[in-house]
C-alpha cells in the first residue's frame, strides 16, 4: 500500500512540473497579446486601490462615496500636475545632460585606467584593465546611443502616453465607484472556502506591498536628495529618484539602484562615488531596521528564494509590470494556501514583501 501511495505521489509531482511550466508559458503569451490592455487595467486597479483609502476617510466625514471619489481624484490630479510642472522639467534636463555626459566620463575613466596599467606594467604586475574596460565602454556607449535614439520615439509617443494616462484615471474612477460589485461578482464564481481567503489575502498583500514600498521609496528620495546636494553630486535629484524607484522592486531593487548610481558617479569621481555609496547604504540600513519594521509590522515572510523566483517569473511574463506585481501575487498565493491548510484560522496575514524575519533556528519563515 505504501509503495502504491508513494508512486502515485511521485507521478503527481512529476506531472505538476511540466503543467506549471506550460501554464506559465501560456500566461506569458496571453499577456504579450493583450499587453497594452492588461497594463492599463492593472495600473488603473493599483491606482484605485491606493486612492480607496483617502476615499474612505472622506466617507467617514459623512460625504457620499461619489463625492469622495471626485474630491480625491481632483486632489490627486492637482498634485500630479504640480509635481509634473516642478519636477518633470528638472528630471528631463538632468537625464539629457547625463546621457550627453556619459561618453566624456568613459573617456576620462579610460585615461585613468591607462595610467594605472602603465604603473602595473612598470612593476611587472599581470594586469590589463584597459582592454577589459574598453569592451565595457563600447557596450555602454552603444546603449547610450540607443537611448538617445529612442528619445525621438518617446517624444512622438507622448500623445499616446497622455491618452493612456487619461484612460487609466477614468478607469480608476469607475473602479472606485463600482469595483466592489465587480470584484464580489468574480469572487462569488469561486467556492466560498477558496474565494474568501483568496480575496482577503489579495487585499492585504497588495495593501502591504504598495503602501509600504511607496513610503520606503519616498523616504529614500527625501533623505538622499539633500545629502547628494550637500555632497555636490551632479544629477542629485535624478540619482535619488532612481534609488527611490528601486524600492518598487522588493528585496533587490534598492541595492540595484544604489549600485547603478555608484557606478555612474564613479565615472566622474572615485572618492565621491565611495561617499555616495556609503551615504546611500547608511540610509538603506536606517530604512530596513527602523522605518520598515514600523511600516510593515510583523508579517509572515516569504522565503527570499521564493521572492527571487517570483521576480524572475514576473519579469519573464510581464516585464517591469510583472516584476512590480510578482511578489504581492506570490504572497497572495501563499496566504490562500495557508488559509486552506488551516481552515480554523480565519485571519489571513499579508506577506512581508521586503524582509523575511528570521526564526529561532536562524532560518526564515515561508514556504
Do 79 and 42 belong together in one domain?
yes
Q: How many domains does the chain have?
A: 2
Do 222 and 170 belong together in one domain?
no
Last residue of a domain, one of 189, 204, 228: 189
Of 90-104, 154-168, 342-356, which gets the smallest average pLDDT?
Answer: 342-356
**In which band, very low, low, confident or very high, does the pLDDT at 153 lie, cut at 50, 70 and 90?**
very low
Query: If you search the block for the grid coordinates 551632479, which residue do you land on?
Result: 234
Do 146 and 159 belong together in one domain?
yes
Do 196 and 169 belong together in one domain?
no
Do 162 and 269 belong together in one domain?
no
Do 195 and 328 belong together in one domain?
yes
**In which band, very low, low, confident or very high, does the pLDDT at 296 lie, cut at 50, 70 and 90?**
low
Residue 94, domain extent? 34-189
Give the CA dihedral 89, 94, 95, 99, nearest 10 degrees.
140
| Residue range 76-99: mean pLDDT, rounded | 78
**In which band, very low, low, confident or very high, does the pLDDT at 282 lie, cut at 50, 70 and 90?**
very high
Residue 336 has a pLDDT of: 82
Does residue 365 lie in a domain region? no
Residue 112 in this model has a pLDDT that exceeds 70: no
Residue 321 in this model has a pLDDT that exceeds 90: no
Of 16-25, 51-60, 75-84, 351-360, which gets the smallest average pLDDT?
Answer: 351-360
Do 238 and 341 belong together in one domain?
yes
Residue 12 has a pLDDT of: 67
Does residue 364 lie in a domain region? no
- Per-residue three-class SS string for the chain: CHHHHHHHHHHHHHHHHHHHHHHHHHHHHHHHHCHHHHHHHHHHHHHHHHHHHHHHHHHHCCCCHHHHHHHHHHHHHHHHHHHHHHHHHHHHHHHHHHHHHHHHHHHHHHHHHHHHHHHHHHCCCCCCHHHHHHHHHHHHHHHHHHHHHHHHHHHHCHHHHHHHHHHHHHHHHHHHHHHHHHHHHHHCCCCHHHHHHHHHHHHHHHHHHHHHHHHHHHHHHHHHHHHHHHCCCCCHHHHHHHHHHHCCCCCCHHHHHHHHHHHHHHCCCHHHHHHHHHHHHHHHHHHHHHHHHHHHCCCEECCHHHHHHHHHHHHHHHHHHHHHHHHHHHHHHHHHHHHHHCCCCCCCCCEECCCCCECCCCCECCC
| Residue range 112-141: mean pLDDT, rounded | 59
**In which band, very low, low, confident or very high, does the pLDDT at 299 lie, cut at 50, 70 and 90?**
very low
Residue 324 in this model has a pLDDT that exceeds 70: yes
Do 153 and 170 belong together in one domain?
yes
| Residue range 151-163: mean pLDDT, rounded | 53
Residue 61 in this model has a pLDDT that exceeds 70: yes
Do 311 and 295 belong together in one domain?
yes
Does residue 133 lie in a domain region? yes
Last residue of a domain, one of 126, 155, 189: 189
Does residue 322 lie in a domain region? yes
**In which band, very low, low, confident or very high, does the pLDDT at 358 lie, cut at 50, 70 and 90?**
very low
Residue 151 in this model has a pLDDT that exceeds 60: no
Q: Which long-range contacts (CB under 8 A, 24 or more apart) does 114-118 make?
A: none
> Residue 179 in contact with residue 48, Cβ under 8 Å?
yes
Assigned C-alpha cell, 89:
522639467
Do 161 and 261 belong together in one domain?
no
Do 158 and 49 belong together in one domain?
yes
Do 181 and 230 belong together in one domain?
no
Residue 278 has a pLDDT of: 93
Q: Write down the mean pLDDT value for the chain.
A: 75
Residue 91 in this model has a pLDDT that exceeds 60: yes
Last residue of a domain, one of 155, 173, 189: 189
Does residue 20 lie in a domain region? no
Amino acid at each position: 500500500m505504501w509503495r502504491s501511495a508513494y508512486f502515485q505521489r511521485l507521478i503527481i509531482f512529476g506531472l505538476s512540473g511540466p503543467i506549471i511550466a506550460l501554464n506559465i508559458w501560456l500566461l506569458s503569451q496571453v499577456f504579450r497579446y493583450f499587453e497594452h490592455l492588461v497594463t492599463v487595467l492593472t495600473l488603473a486597479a493599483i491606482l484605485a486601490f491606493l486612492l480607496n483609502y483617502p476615499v474612505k476617510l472622506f466617507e467617514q466625514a459623512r460625504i457620499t462615496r461619489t463625492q469622495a471619489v471626485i474630491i480625491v481624484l481632483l486632489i490627486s490630479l492637482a498634485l500630479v500636475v504640480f509635481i509634473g510642472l516642478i519636477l518633470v522639467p528638472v528630471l528631463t534636463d538632468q537625464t539629457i545632460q547625463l546621457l550627453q555626459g556619459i561618453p566624456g566620463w568613459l573617456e576620462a575613466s579610460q585615461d585613468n585606467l591607462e595610467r594605472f596599467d602603465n604603473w602595473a606594467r612598470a612593476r611587472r604586475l599581470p594586469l590589463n584593465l584597459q582592454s577589459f574596460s574598453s569592451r565595457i565602454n563600447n557596450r555602454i556607449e552603444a546603449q547610450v546611443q540607443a537611448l538617445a535614439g529612442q528619445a525621438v520615439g518617446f517624444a512622438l509617443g507622448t500623445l499616446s502616453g497622455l491618452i493612456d494616462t487619461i484612460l487609466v484615471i477614468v478607469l480608476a474612477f469607475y473602479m472606485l465607484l463600482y469595483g466592489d460589485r465587480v470584484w464580489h461578482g468574480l469572487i462569488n464564481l469561486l467556492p466560498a472556502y477558496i474565494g474568501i481567503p483568496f480575496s482577503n489575502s489579495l487585499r492585504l498583500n497588495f495593501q502591504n506591498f504598495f503602501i509600504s514600498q511607496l513610503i520606503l521609496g519616498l523616504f529614500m528620495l527625501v533623505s538622499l536628495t539633500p545629502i547628494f546636494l550637500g555632497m555636490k553630486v551632479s544629477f542629485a535629484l535624478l540619482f535619488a529618484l532612481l534609488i527611490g524607484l528601486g524600492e518598487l522592486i522588493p528585496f533587490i531593487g534598492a541595492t540595484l539602484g544604489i549600485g547603478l548610481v555608484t557606478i555612474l558617479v564613479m565615472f566622474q569621481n572615485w572618492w565621491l562615488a565611495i561617499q555616495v555609496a556609503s551615504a546611500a547604504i547608511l540610509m538603506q540600513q536606517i530604512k530596513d531596521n527602523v522605518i520598515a519594521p514600523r511600516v510593515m509590522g510583523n508579517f509572515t515572510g516569504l522565503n527570499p528564494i521564493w521572492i527571487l523566483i517570483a521576480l524572475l517569473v514576473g519579469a519573464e511574463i510581464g516585464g517591469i509590470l510583472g516584476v512590480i506585481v510578482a511578489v504581492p501575487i506570490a504572497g497572495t498565493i501563499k496566504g490562500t494556501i495557508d488559509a486552506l491548510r488551516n481552515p480554523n484560522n480565519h485571519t489571513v496575514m499579508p506577506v512581508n514583501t521586503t524582509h523575511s524575519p528570521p526564526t529561532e533556528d536562524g532560518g526564515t519563515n515561508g514556504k
